[in-house]
């Protein structure tokens, strides 16, 4: 490998302008691809198979309207309520926004507030109408009951009269029978007329009485008929009354459902109680990750025109988050600081500019490729920024290693191109191996099975690979072009001095004890205690994603979040979506009842401010609810609410035969965090095993790899502790722009492990390889440590400072997602380079002496000699170690 890289370095030096032109052409091609095919980056992350994502996937298939993305627009007046002309102006602007391509609907806050008010008034009116109806029913029932009572009384009187007539009829009929019997006897006995006449007169009187009785009976029958007709009329009235009573009961049931729904939605509003803040919702035609910048920019540009001294207009993250700027002021400052470090170390602007130029070239190509792929591959906003972050830091360092070696060789009197070739074959070999360790660590992120994280690792690995290739080709070409100008004028003048050449071949005071060998026990105890203290906060790490309240205070996103929190409650910024799917359709008459039953169950949970029955699918099987928490989306209380909602699954399944799903920002973050936490042990174990194997191969030792790996773990936990202290606890928050502490970025631990592993192995390689080489060449363990540290310390410190400044610049990035990554990497490099690699590991090695380099003989025989430092090439060139 060393010989191959030596030849590559010579070729690049001889064909310098060809190599430089080829890289610049490649840059132009990739930039053209980016301009032509770049897509939209996402601020949200999704993982297939997690519960929240499964809910979204089902909604996209069966209920696409419910899966649409949305954003919020906040209108605010400093004083006084919105006037009617202002409301009309906002309404007209929202209607125009609804016509923007990609926007499905815009919910006007004033219209929604009016509808809510109307619904509440309708319920109040319905309640009054039902109360009056119940009174009317009571009056009607009384009238019917009174009518029936009167009919019964009349009927009783008629029956009494009928009984009396019957008695009279019986008496008259008996009397008539007696008269008729008497007449028959008289007539039979031939009685005179004078005797018969009185009886006949009595007979006529009786017959007349019977006729009167018959007339009375007819009158009674007519009265009975009238009573029967009256009863029919009253029964009809009773039937109508019963129907009215059923209608009133239905109305009461509907009123009850409406009142129950009004209770659970009482705390929801689109216009604040004081009338000075209104929130409009922009619903897109597609999920939020698929919304184009043209759509969001069009909405923002149109509604921003409403801003005035009287009205403030602010926008939520989904409408304004832009990833077009990969570098901001913080990153530029970091680059400038890195250039200053390079100038101080190298002593010439030309030499200082070469690593920066090489890094910028690599970043330009890798970022362009990543952005071009974003048109066909869905990726998060952190993917290209991570590549830029790594590409800048590693690109500068890798070029610096070659340039530093080349400068040392030039000061010994070596010819320019030969020096370039040898630097590429020696330090370039180490750079190649170091780059491979970082590439492997990043590529191993695909082992987590988490798509967006694996893509971040792949694109980061691409940036590292390009940094290595540029260091091995573009940097040698630049060194050939600048020639001896890579040295300062003082250094060029001293080239003729034999004494200066000899002094340049070996570090000054190479065997003078360093801190790690002067007081190794104190160094181990001191560094160990410090790292243990730094790691304490890591035990309380809580994973999640930052919300709008974590954005910069001067951003519209932060202002929108704050206005919503102050006027509607923090939970209005992060609603929880609950989806209940039933096996069969629910009739329209029963839908409201079901919504009320389910909404009340959600509302009864702790930390719920309101529950909105948001929508019902076309097939009437899927019901969507928006649950508004009391607390913000990133709080522990809202996370607990997610678990409480999901805890209702069994109850809903048993009582309604429904399947409950929960999604939304917080639910998705919880599921992603859980998935990442599950994947972290596998990834960490893989990285640790890989580190041991690689270091055993390089250093042909058992203890040194174990020390390196243990040191890496100490670095990781100390870094986690610092990140928790700053971003979760808020320590030094003012310095790092943390005004609203919250959970740690959910994929940060995994990504930090991968990157810090690679960088830690870089520093371990450059330091320990020099120690090993000195030990192999006969120096005592202590002298070898002193020699190796003196040999590599300056370049490692410079490289670490460069990484710290570059990563530190990203700690002040305009994107909240990026800041903790930049801080974590900067702090991790600081701890690993200055405490672990330069002090702790050498101190322990000095305590164990020769045992540090022990390896079983059988293992030593089967291990190949990788010759990372290119020692064979150095011996071939018959040059002293430098």
Gyration radius from the chain CA atoms: 46
Q: For residue 572, is it left (φ>0), alpha (ψ between -120 and 50) or beta? A: alpha
- Asked whether the beta carbons of 280 and 87 are under 8 A apart, the reply is no
**Angle of helix 636-646 relative to helix 665-699, nearest 10 degrees?**
110
Question: Could you give the residue range(s) of every CATH 1.20.1640.10 domain in the chain?
Answer: 1-43+326-505, 506-546+679-865
Give the helix, strand, coil percentages of the chain, each rounded to 5.
75, 5, 20
Please report the pLDDT score of residue 502 as a whole number: 52
Please report the pLDDT score of residue 44 as a whole number: 62
Q: Which residues contact 407 (CB under 8 A, 6 or more apart)?
A: 346, 351, 486, 487, 491
Length of the chain: 882
- The architecture in CATH of the region 506-546+679-865 reads Up-down Bundle (1.20)
Q: What is the pTM of this model?
A: 0.80
Average pLDDT, 10 consecutive residues per value, the chain (882 residues): 85 93 95 84 68 83 79 91 93 94 92 91 91 92 92 90 90 88 84 83 88 90 92 92 91 89 92 93 84 87 92 88 57 79 82 90 92 82 83 88 87 87 85 85 83 88 94 94 87 65 56 86 94 94 81 87 92 90 90 94 95 90 93 88 94 93 85 82 83 81 89 93 94 86 86 85 82 84 88 85 88 83 93 94 92 88 71 54 37
- Paired tokens of 559: 């202002």
Please report the pLDDT score of residue 880 as a whole number: 41
- The architecture in CATH of the region 1-43+326-505 reads Up-down Bundle (1.20)
Q: Which of 494, 493, 487, 504 is nearest to 351 (CA)?
A: 487
Question: Could you give the residue range(s) of every CATH 1.10.287 domain in the chain?
Answer: 113-264
Instruction: Give the whole-angstrom CA distance, residue 9 versus residue 417.
Output: 8
DSSP 832: I
3-state secondary structure of 36: helix
Instruction: Give the whole-angstrom CA distance, residue 368 versus residue 267.
Output: 48
Task: Using the CB atoms, write b or e for 159-178: b if 16+ within 10 Å.
Answer: eeebeebeeebeebeebbee
CATH (residue range 113-264): 1.10.287
- Paired tokens of 730: 């808020």
């Amino acid at each position: 490998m060393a010989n191959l890289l030596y030849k590559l370095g010579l070729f690049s030096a001889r064909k310098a302008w060809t190599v430089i032109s080829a890289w610049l052409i490649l840059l132009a091609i990739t930039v053209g691809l980016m301009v032509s095919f770049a897509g939209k980056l996402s601020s949200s992350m999704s993982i297939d198979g997690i519960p929240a994502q499964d809910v979204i996937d089902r909604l996209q298939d069966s209920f696409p309207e419910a899966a649409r993305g949305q954003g919020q627009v906040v209108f605010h007046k400093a004083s006084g309520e919105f006037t009617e002309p202002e409301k009309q102006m906002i309404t007209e602007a929202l209607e125009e926004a609804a016509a923007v391509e990609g926007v499905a609907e815009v919910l006007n806050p004033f219209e929604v507030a009016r509808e809510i008010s109307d619904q509440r008034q309708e319920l109040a009116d319905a309640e009054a109408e039902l109360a009056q109806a119940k009174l009317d029913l009571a009056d009607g029932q009384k009238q019917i009951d009174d009518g029936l009572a009167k009919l019964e009384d009349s009927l009783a009187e008629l029956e009494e009269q009928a009984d009396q007539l019957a008695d009279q009829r019986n008496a008259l009929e008996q009397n008539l029978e007696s008269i008729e019997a008497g007449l028959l006897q008289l007539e039979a006995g031939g009685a005179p007329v004078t005797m018969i006449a009185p009886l006949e007169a009595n007979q006529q009187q009786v017959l007349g009485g019977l006729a009167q009785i018959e007339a009375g009976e007819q009158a009674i029958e007519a009265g009975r008929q009238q009573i029967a007709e009256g009863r029919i009329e009253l029964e009809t009235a009773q039937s109508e009354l019963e129907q009215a009573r059923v209608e009133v009961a239905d109305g009461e049931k509907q009123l009850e459902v409406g009142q129950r729904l009004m209770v659970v939605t009482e705390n929801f509003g689109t216009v604040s109680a004081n009338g000075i803040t209104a929130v409009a919702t922009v619903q897109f035609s597609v999920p939020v990750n698929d919304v184009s910048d043209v759509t969001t920019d069009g909405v923002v540009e149109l509604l921003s025109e409403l801003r005035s001294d009287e009205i403030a207009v602010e926008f939520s993250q989904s409408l304004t988050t832009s990833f077009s700027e990969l570098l901001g002021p913080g990153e530029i400052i970091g680059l400038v600081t890195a250039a200053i470090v390079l100038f101080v170390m190298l002593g010439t602007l030309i030499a200082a500019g070469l690593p920066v130029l090489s890094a910028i070239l690599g970043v330009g190509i890798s970022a362009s490729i990543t952005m071009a792929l974003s048109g066909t591959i869905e990726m998060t906003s952190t993917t290209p920024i991570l590549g830029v972050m790594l590409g800048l830091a590693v690109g500068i360092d890798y070029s610096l290693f070659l340039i530093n070696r080349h400068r040392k060789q030039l000061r010994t009197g070596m010819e320019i191109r030969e020096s370039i070739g040898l630097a590429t074959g020696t330090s370039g070999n180490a750079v190649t191996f170091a780059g491979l360790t970082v590439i492997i660590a990043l590529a191993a992120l695909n082992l987590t099975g988490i798509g967006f994280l694996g893509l971040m690792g792949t694109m980061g690995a691409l940036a590292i690979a390009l940094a290595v290739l540029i260091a091995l080709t573009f940097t040698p070409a630049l060194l050939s072009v600048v020639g001896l100008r890579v040295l300062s004028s003082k250094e060029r003048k001293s080239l003729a001095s034999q004494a200066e050449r000899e002094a340049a071949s070996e570090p000054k005071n190479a065997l003078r004890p360093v801190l790690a060998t002067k007081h190794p026990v104190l160094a181990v105890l001191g560094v160990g205690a410090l790292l243990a203290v730094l790691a304490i906060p890591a035990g309380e790490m809580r994973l999640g994603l930052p919300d709008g309240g974590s954005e910069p205070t001067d951003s519209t996103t932060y202002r929108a979040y704050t206005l919503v929190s102050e006027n509607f409650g923090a939970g209005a910024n992060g609603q929880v979506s609950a989806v209940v799917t039933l096996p069969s359709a629910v009739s329209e008459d029963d839908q409201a009842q079901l919504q009320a039953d389910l909404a009340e169950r959600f509302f009864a949970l702790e930390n719920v401010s309101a529950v909105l029955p948001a929508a019902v699918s076309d097939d009437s099987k899927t019901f969507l609810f928006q649950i508004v928490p009391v607390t913000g989306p990133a709080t522990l209380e809202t996370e607990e609410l997610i678990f409480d909602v999901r805890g209702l699954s069994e109850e809903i399944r048993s009582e309604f035969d429904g399947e409950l799903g929960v999604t939304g920002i917080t639910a998705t973050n919880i599921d992603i965090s859980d998935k990442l936490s599950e994947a972290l042990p596998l990834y960490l174990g893989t990285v640790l095993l890989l580190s041991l194997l690689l270091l055993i191969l390089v250093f042909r030792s058992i203890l040194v790899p174990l020390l390196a790996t243990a040191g890496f773990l100490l670095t990781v936990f100390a870094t986690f502790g610092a990140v928790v202290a700053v971003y979760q606890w808020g320590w030094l928050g003012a310095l790092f722009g943390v005004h609203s502490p919250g959970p740690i970025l959910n994929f940060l631990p995994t990504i930090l492990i991968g990157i810090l592993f690679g960088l830690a192995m870089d520093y371990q390689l450059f330091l320990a390889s020099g120690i090993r080489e000195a030990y192999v060449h006969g120096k005592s363990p202590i002298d070898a440590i002193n020699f190796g540290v003196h040999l590599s310390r300056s370049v490692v410190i410079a490289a670490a400072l460069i990484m710290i400044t570059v990563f530190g610049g990203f700690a002040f990035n305009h994107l909240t997602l990026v800041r903790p990554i930049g801080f974590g990497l900067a702090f991790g490099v600081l701890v690993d380079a200055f405490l672990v690699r330069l002090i702790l590991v050498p101190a322990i090695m000095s305590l164990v002496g020769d045992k540090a380099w022990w390896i079983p003989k059988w293992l030593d025989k089967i291990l190949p000699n990788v010759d990372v430092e290119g020692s064979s090439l150095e011996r071939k060139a018959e040059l002293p170690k430098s």
